Structure 1
Amino acid sequence: MTDIETLIDQISQEAQREPFPIDVPVYEAAHKNPNDAILYAGNLKSQICFFGRDLGRDEVHEGQPLIGAAGTLVRKGFYRSINKQEAPNKEALQTICDRALLTNTVPYKPPGNKAYSKEVKERFRPFIEQLLIIHWKGTEIITLGTEAFKWFTPYCSKIEINSFWEQSDRYSSKLPLILKATDSLGEKYERKINLLPLPHPSPLNTQYYAKFPQMLQKRLIEF
């Protein structure tokens, strides 16, 4: 078992330790075990990470983050940035996993379309920290939506992160911070990363949905 497989197994053990809200019918329809973590897709050696809120129905069925309607918009934009053309099909979009890491604040699907509570996010935080600091080698994290961005609040002062979020240019600026993690043996790790927030690319986000592809392209020019 590889180190990352061990981490995924530890998450699944934690999920079984104490009940929390999981959209069980969606997992059953997909013939998946609700306790099995869908932690990430992509390349752990990539420079860039797309960080979302949590899994949706399509993500459970496909077994990887950011592959539903919103995730497909991200994948199409990233493909376009890399290849200077539109992706010809769904299979071509999958190639972006060679160049990025895709993950979420919690590696499970909540019931309905509601975000997980702070308590659930904190319960799984140590595992996401380990993924981002110990296993992933990149430094640039594009957060998708408020929930994803605010997940990083513990790694800098609350005043600093709230001040950044209130800036009119938050979707074109970077926020550097020191991300920290502790492994299962108690060894501590830390690394400087940059947050590059974007709005959530959901059709329900009427303020930004039409603008999102252009906003994403501006972010990706930096890579």
Structure 2
Amino acid sequence: MQPSDSLRAAFRREAEALDGIDLEAYRQFDRDPLEPVIGLGPREASIGFFGRDPGRQEVKWGEPFVGSGGQKVREGLYQALHGEPLPDFEASIEVGRHVFWANTVPYKPIGNKAWSMAVKKRFQPLMAELLVKHWQGRTVITLGREAFLWFGIHQAREVRQALEAFWQREDRFEATHRTTLALENGQCATFDLAPLPHPSPLNQAWYKRFPDLLEARLKALNVTAFSAMP
């Protein structure tokens, strides 16, 4: 699945006026800096992963979640589906075809610094449209605090407060949170968020625990149910 032509064009228009895209990285890999790195997956995929933004490897391959942190996610997904360790990079790409992928902003920032809230707000309507209108699944494994709290951007105050309160819970990486995501036109959808810490090696507090937390999440969400998919 790829974004509709109109949605892809909208992403490109926003990117034209976006300061902070790592143009050097796009030039290094001969990639178009206006092209969003989303990856998506099957429209009918029951599970989605939602992260912060692409990094250098994502730009290189034009695929989301393929850098060091993303590979931790794909390793866990492969283990859950096949019951054995991930054999190689090609297998990590192929296993990603079973799920849906998206980020708060689909462009690599300079220095891999998180995009500002102003930038996330600019792209939120487009990403929300992608989730609500172009994907049929409603269970999202969010990676890190920013990805989880993104679901409160441009939403009602009580939605934002509920997300903030859930993030303060000690069991936030085991429990799930149901929230409604509304578009500017009033169309909305309800999502079950299953947060996990960000899998970056820089996240020393959680990095070593991430594989076990992901394994538990995937088991609880019965991800192995589609292990027989081609």
SS at match of 1:41: coil
Q: CA–CA distance in 2 between the matches of 1:3 and 1:201? A: 26
1:69-108 CA deviation, whole Å, 9 max, x = no partner? 0001100101111111112221112222232111100010
SS at match of 1:201: coil
1:117-168 CA deviation, whole Å, 9 max, x = no partner? 0111111111101110100110111110111111112445332111111111
Query: What is the identity, as a one-letter code, of the residue corresponding to 2:7?
Result: L
SS at match of 1:179: strand
Q: Tell me the TM-score normalised to structure 2 length.
A: 0.89
2:172 matched to 1:144?
no
Evaluate the alpha carbon distance shift between residue 160 and residue 26 of structure 1 in structure 2; reply closer, same or farther with a 3 A threshold: same
Check conservation: 1:66, 1:103, Cα contact below 8 A.
Answer: no
Match of 2:182 in 1: 180
Evaluate the alpha carbon distance shift between residue 68 and residue 3 of structure 1 in structure 2; reply closer, same or farther with a 3 A threshold: closer
Q: Gaps spanning 5+ residues in structure 2: where?
A: 223-230
Identity %: 37
Q: Tell me the TM-score normalised to structure 1 length.
A: 0.92
SS at match of 1:151: helix
Match of 2:226 in 1: none
Within 5 A, what are the aligned runs for 1:1-223?
Answer: 4-16=4-16, 18-154=17-153, 155=155, 156-182=158-184, 188-221=186-219, 222-223=221-222
Evaluate the alpha carbon distance shift between residue 157 and residue 181 of structure 1 in structure 2; reply closer, same or farther with a 3 A threshold: closer
Q: CA RMSD in A?
A: 1.5
Query: What is the identity, as a one-letter code, of the residue corresponding to 1:61?
Result: K
Check conservation: 1:51, 1:148, Cα contact below 8 A.
Answer: yes
Segments ≥4 residues shifted beyond 4 Å: none
Aligned residues: 217
Q: Gaps spanning 5+ residues in structure 1: where?
A: none
